[in-house]
Amino acid sequence: MLTYDILIVGSGGAGLYAALESRMEEDLQVGVLTKVYPTRSHTGAAQGGVNAALANLDPTDTWQDHWFDTVKGSDYLADQDAAEIMTREAPMVVREMEHWGCPFSRTDEGKIAQRPFGGASKPRACFSADKVGHVMLHTLYEQGIRHGVNFLNEWQVLSLMHDGQRCQGVTAINTQTGRVHTIQAKAVILATGGHGRIYWTRTSNALGNTGDGTAIAYRAGLPIKDMEFVQFHPTGLRRTGILVSEGARGEGGFLLNGLGERFMSRYAPEKMELGPRDLVSRSCETEVREGRAGPEGEVFLDLTHLGRERILERLPQIRELCIEFEGVDPIEEPIPIKPTAHYSMGGIHTDLNGQTSIEGIYAAGEAGCVSVHGANRLGGNSLLDILIFGRRAGKHALEYARNNSYTPVDTGQEEADTQMIASMMEGDSGASIADIRRAMGNLMSEKVGVYRNSKNLESAVSELADLQEQFKTVRIQDKTKAFNTELVAALELKNMLDLAEVVAVGALERKESRGAHTREDHPERDDENWLAHTMATLGDDGRPKLDFSPVTITEFEPKARTY
Amino acid sequence: MSEKITPDRKSILANIRIQRFTPSKHKSAYFDNFKVNVETGMTVLEALRLIKNTQDSSLTFRAFCRSKICGSCAVRVNGKPVLACSTQLMPILEDFKKDSVSIRPLKNMPVLRDLVVDIEPVIEKLSKMHPYLMENRERIPETLEQESIMSKQEHSRFDYITDCILCGSCYSACSAASADPNYAGPLTLGKAYRFSADVRDSFQGERMQAAVDQGLWSCAQCRKCINVCPKDTRPAVSIQRMRKMSIDDGIHDTAGSRRAKAYTGDVAKYGQVNKPMLPVIVNGPKGWAAIEAADNYLKKHGIEPTRQVCMLGGQSSTQKIYDKVKELEAKGDNKT
């Protein structure tokens, strides 16, 4: 049996920061278990910035401004004590990253450069050209090597174990060998990222953002929070969902429907293409629903009128991206786009130290939900969230592991998981992973997507239950143990089906529109009844059971969210 | 006024040839052919996923971000290392005027299964290179109340390397890595230079020694790494700069340093490199074995070997160039 004082599941920014924080004094054994290699993690895909009120560009910026922007952006669903901690500690963690070598772009004075960002009242997004998540991820990995963090690369987590009060560890499969192991740990930090892949092809997320940590926590009886809130970005590429950044619209790009009409004039006659993300996403979706889409259900982002020179000068990276991923040159023709699931606000419920309801089990980053993003996340706050709460979880877990002994664990779970995998490998005929996955993605996009209503949500909940039944008959055709990626896909699908159900059930229950959650049948925000966090736990009947808990309001009374 | 948008989207039935190998099942690698309808916009990765989802679920490859930032999906397409996610199929089919394309795993690393190679040896080499910043306390404050100051110019010395996603394309293409399994490889040396060029770092001596020990001078400067890097990080350029840095640091007891000195010395003396004697100058007495082997080879083909360096005309012009460089160096003008 493998043992670690602290085992971190997930190697993105939150996991690596937690690992580094808990390994700094090099007195405990710290392991990071990841289904990829650490530098492949999805943190690397964040391009824009990490928010911190350093006031390097605007000397009047303060963390209190950042705090308010975050709360307002969340549509008042964020816990204000959590948002306060995040925004107040932001300058410190960004400087710590910098001291570890993170190559932020520089101002003329040689300080960390900052830029304006949507929803922020001051320019406070610290950046490194268009690769800030990438350089942060690499910096954390490099320092992890320096401090002797142990990496278990290409391992897939299977189950989370506890005795009802304290953490015992996890089970996981080593993909390279195909063997299931028990890993005993005093503390486990789940930092497995978001679950945007429940929308399957309609997401900007990496192929592996399947909510593994959130799902195993849910199956282990831990509450997961605010799962119905999923942020959509209006301009994902038609084929892959990869984002075309807001810069293209900022530079004067038009949004056209299939008929070539500049449709934003119907929804935001003044701001046109530069309206807020959620409004633009809803407008695109309305055009498609009302039959004005292109040949394959897409709308278009048109840059052709800007002319070759301006595109080459101002938007070269966006052009390259369209050519490489969509085969379309925006100088020649409009870019086909669709709104795409981008960020999961919900996740494993934690306190301000990242601790869950079980001692020694922590969650951080997109997998967790403190909550600092509430109903809608601000750009530049996701990278901040992973640093702040990765660090806090690491610090707290370190103290916990120093002061506690291992909780006994047997190999019962390992045997059960081995058996579960063996039964999926036995026999040939059964449902296909690809078919179930595609059906899940389509129904989530159509019925639990940008627009929601009770009729669609009810049918989504029942269709998801059908898919879960079908999943029970899935058979893996590939019988080789080593590097069986079909098996990994099945394990991921199991996780996604569980989480998709919680998202759909939460969305059905929440009878209001707030932030990213838009109910056609309940179009207004309803603070009287719904200023509350949704808590989902796995019921005895195998279905999610919902409870609601109050939002912490310390400073800012909820007001209408207008920009 | 507005006009209906009708995108021009084509489709070609193509033959995708994929190298297969499962060590527990096969003695050696073989090719499988898959027929795929390649549409406008389809990437190599999309084709691989389509095949896995609809034709053969055991096809094994790595992929994660799909957007050219994680480095998981590097493979060789028609022999060239590329990222599967950012490589469009249609232009390749059109360029080669063929309806077939081959996909194989990267070279210079053992194959674990199909298109998946073992990158662990490369990661180990990287780990030995001290690939991290060690705080230079003259530049990095002790307190988190302050930032360290680094000018744009200082930042730009290494910024281009921080685009590296460790995808292994360069390692696959590298001539030195295929000749010597102990050679660290372009990406690892690039990473070493990235830190050694950072004014905030204080670990340069140890890292330089690690780079020298792991083959800093083994790079043949064939520049294939530059051609294949999907992020344009120019590893061979970093290696050159790292070499200069090592000579400036006074590490002269290396084959490369001796070769560099022989080049400059010979050109000053003869107007060209004294090639026949280079193996001995660079590698010491054991260089004679190489010279003898060359002699025998020439004799076998009826050519009489010579130790003479043929003197070229225009020797005085060379001398003038040297004098000018010395004059500029004396002025402290390193840029010229």
Query: Chain B closest CA to A233's CA: distance in Å?
Result: 16
The ipTM of this complex is 0.95
Write down the catalytic residue from A166, A277, A437, A525.
A277
Chain A partners of B23 at a C-beta cutoff of 8 Å?
482
State residue A249's pLDDT score.
87
Cα–Cα distances in Å, from A234 out to A261, A284, A445, B57? 17, 7, 13, 33
HSE-up of residue A346 (Cα within 13 Å, Cβ side) = 29
Confidence of residue B258 (pLDDT cuts 50, 70, 90): confident
CB atoms within 10 A of CB A424: 21
Confidence of residue B109 (pLDDT cuts 50, 70, 90): very high
Contact A36 B64 (CB under 8 A): yes
Q: Is A215 exposed, middle or buried (0-12, 13-18, 19+ CB in 10 A)?
A: buried
- Residue with the bigger pLDDT between A346 and B326: it is A346
Reading the block at residue A15, the tokens are 């996991």
Q: Which of A36, A325, A333 sits opposite B7 (nearest CB)?
A: A333
Confidence of residue B256 (pLDDT cuts 50, 70, 90): confident
The span from the CA of B54 to the CA of A188, in Å, is 38
Q: Which of B41, B67, B146 sits opposite A239 (nearest CB)?
A: B41
Contact B119 A262 (CB under 8 A): no
The span from the CA of A473 to the CA of A432, in Å, is 9
101-130 in chain B: CB under 8 A from chain A? 112-113, 116, 119-120, 123, 127, 130
The span from the CA of A364 to the CA of A355, in Å, is 9
Contact B85 A325 (CB under 8 A): yes
Q: Which residue of A has its CA nearest to B25?
A: A480
pLDDT for residue B334 is more than 80: no
Chain B partners of A39 at a C-beta cutoff of 8 Å?
70-71, 165-166
Chain A partners of B116 at a C-beta cutoff of 8 Å?
483
Query: A279 Cβ partners below 8 Å, 6+ apart?
Result: A267, A268
Reading the block at residue A411, the tokens are 């190999």
- Where do the DSSP E strands lie in B116-221? 116-117
- Residue with the bigger pLDDT between A310 and B287: it is A310
Q: Which of B6, B113, B165 sits opposite A482 (nearest CB)?
A: B113
% of chain B beyond a pLDDT of 90:
69
Q: Which of B70, B123, B133 sits opposite A206 (nearest CB)?
A: B70
Chain A partners of B42 at a C-beta cutoff of 8 Å?
239, 327
Given CB atoms, is B294 within the 8 Å cutoff of chain A? no
B117 SS3 class: strand
Handedness of CA B164, B167, B172, B178 (dihedral sign): positive
Q: Which of A145, A242, A259 sits opposite B131 (nearest CB)?
A: A145
Best B69, B111, B139 residue to mutate vs chain A (most A CBs within 10 Å): B69
Contact A39 B53 (CB under 8 A): no
Q: Which residue of A has its CA nearest to B45?
A: A325
pLDDT for residue B184 is more than 70: yes
Question: How would you label A84-116 residue by residue, b for 16+ Cβ within 10 Å and e otherwise?
Answer: bbbbbbbbbbbbbbbbbbbbbbbbeebbbbbee
Chain A partners of B159 at a C-beta cutoff of 8 Å?
103, 129
B262-273 pLDDT per residue, tens: 888 888 777 778
State residue B1's pLDDT score.
63
Cα–Cα distances in Å, from B121 out to A489, A518, B184? 26, 50, 9
CB atoms within 10 A of CB A343: 23
DSSP A32-60: EEESS-GGGSGGGG--S-EE----SS-TT
Q: Which residue of B has its CA nearest to A299?
A: B5
Section B174-191 average pLDDT:
96
- Where do the DSSP E strands lie in A310-353? 335-344, 347-349
Phi, psi of A355 (to 5 degrees): -85, 140
DSSP A420-455: HHHHHHS-S-S--HHHHHHHHHHHHHHHSSSSB-HH
pLDDT for residue B97 is more than 80: no
The span from the CA of A191 to the CA of A214, in Å, is 9
Residue type, A94: V
Given CB atoms, is B157 within the 8 Å cutoff of chain A? no
The span from the CA of A256 to the CA of B41, in Å, is 20
Chain A partners of B65 at a C-beta cutoff of 8 Å?
40, 42, 44-45, 206-207
Residue with tokens 């391992």: A155
Best B87, B162, B187, B188 residue to mutate vs chain A (most A CBs within 10 Å): B162
Q: By the 8 A CB rule, do B316 and B305 touch? A: no
**B127: preceding bond cis by omega (within 30 degrees):** no
- Where do the DSSP E strands lie in A218-302? 224-225, 230-237, 254-256, 299-302
Chain A partners of B117 at a C-beta cutoff of 8 Å?
none
Contact A327 B148 (CB under 8 A): no
State residue B336's pLDDT score.
39
Q: Which of A146, A324, A480 sits opposite B68 (nearest CB)?
A: A324
Q: By the 8 A CB rule, do B83 and B74 touch? A: yes
A165 SS3 class: coil
Chain A partners of B201 at a C-beta cutoff of 8 Å?
101
Question: Which contiguous run of DSSP H or E holds residue A498?
Answer: helix A485-509
Given CB atoms, is B2 within the 8 Å cutoff of chain A? yes
DSSP A511-527: -S-BTTB-BTTB-S--H
Contact A256 B5 (CB under 8 A): yes
Query: Chain B closest CA to A556's CA: distance in Å?
Result: 28
Could you tell me which residues are beta bridge partners of residue A181?
A: A172
Handedness of CA A47, A387, A26, A6 (dihedral sign): negative
Q: What is the DSSP letter of A297?
A: S
Look at residues B157, B51, B71, B83 and name the one whose alpha carbon lies nearest to residue B122. Answer: B71
The span from the CA of A291 to the CA of A308, in Å, is 31
Reading the block at residue A563, the tokens are 């920009």
Contact A44 B43 (CB under 8 A): no
Look at residues B99, B106, B42 and name the one whose alpha carbon lies nearest to residue B79. Answer: B106
Torsion of CA A538, A543, A547, A553, to 10 degrees: 70
Q: Checking DSSP bridges between strand A179-190 and strand A361-363, what pairing results, if any?
A: parallel
State residue A399's pLDDT score.
97
Is A277 in the active site?
A: yes
Reading the block at residue A440, the tokens are 């899940």
B2-22 pLDDT per residue, tens: 889 888 888 999 999 999 999
Contact B7 A262 (CB under 8 A): no
Contact B7 A336 (CB under 8 A): yes
B273 SS3 class: coil
State residue B333's pLDDT score.
55
Query: A541 Cβ partners below 8 Å, 6+ apart?
Result: none
Cα Rg, chain B, nearest whole Å:
25
Residue type, A540: D
State residue B274's pLDDT score.
82
Residue with tokens 């009128």: A305
Q: Which residue of A has its CA nearest to B58?
A: A478
Q: By the 8 A CB rule, do B52 and B59 touch? A: yes
Q: Is A33 exposed, middle or buried (0-12, 13-18, 19+ CB in 10 A)?
A: buried
HSE-up of residue A426 (Cα within 13 Å, Cβ side) = 7
Q: By the 8 A CB rule, do B156 and B206 touch? A: no
Reading the block at residue A35, the tokens are 């289904």
% of chain B beyond a pLDDT of 70:
97
User: Per-residue confidence of chain A (563 residues) as pLDDT tens digits?
Assistant: 899 999 999 999 999 999 999 998 889 999 999 999 999 999 999 988 999 999 999 999 999 999 999 999 999 999 999 999 999 999 999 999 999 999 999 999 999 999 988 788 999 999 998 899 999 999 999 999 999 999 999 999 999 999 999 999 999 999 999 999 999 999 999 999 999 999 999 999 999 999 999 999 999 999 999 999 999 999 999 999 999 988 888 889 999 999 999 999 999 888 888 877 788 999 999 999 999 999 999 999 999 999 999 999 888 888 999 999 999 999 999 999 999 999 999 999 999 999 999 999 999 999 999 999 999 999 899 999 999 999 999 999 999 999 999 999 999 999 999 999 999 999 777 889 999 999 999 999 999 999 999 999 999 999 999 999 999 999 999 999 999 999 999 999 999 999 999 999 999 999 999 999 999 999 999 999 999 999 999 999 999 999 999 999 999 999 988 77
Within B214-312, where are the H helices? 224-228, 235-248, 255-270, 278-283, 287-300
Contact A134 B135 (CB under 8 A): no
**A371: preceding bond cis by omega (within 30 degrees):** yes
* Cβ pairs bridging A and B (under 8 Å): 192
Given CB atoms, is B21 within the 8 Å cutoff of chain A? no
Contact A256 B2 (CB under 8 A): yes
Q: Report the predicted TM-score, pTM, of the whole model to 2 decimal places.
A: 0.94
Look at residues A467, A534, A527, A540 and name the one whose alpha carbon lies nearest to residue A507. Answer: A534
Mean pLDDT of chain B: 91
Query: Chain B closest CA to A234's CA: distance in Å?
Result: 17
Q: Which of B7, B70, B112 sits opposite A40 (nearest CB)?
A: B70
Query: Chain A closest CA to B65's CA: distance in Å?
Result: 4
B328 SS3 class: helix
Cα–Cα distances in Å, from B72 out to A419, B69, B84, B168? 30, 9, 9, 9
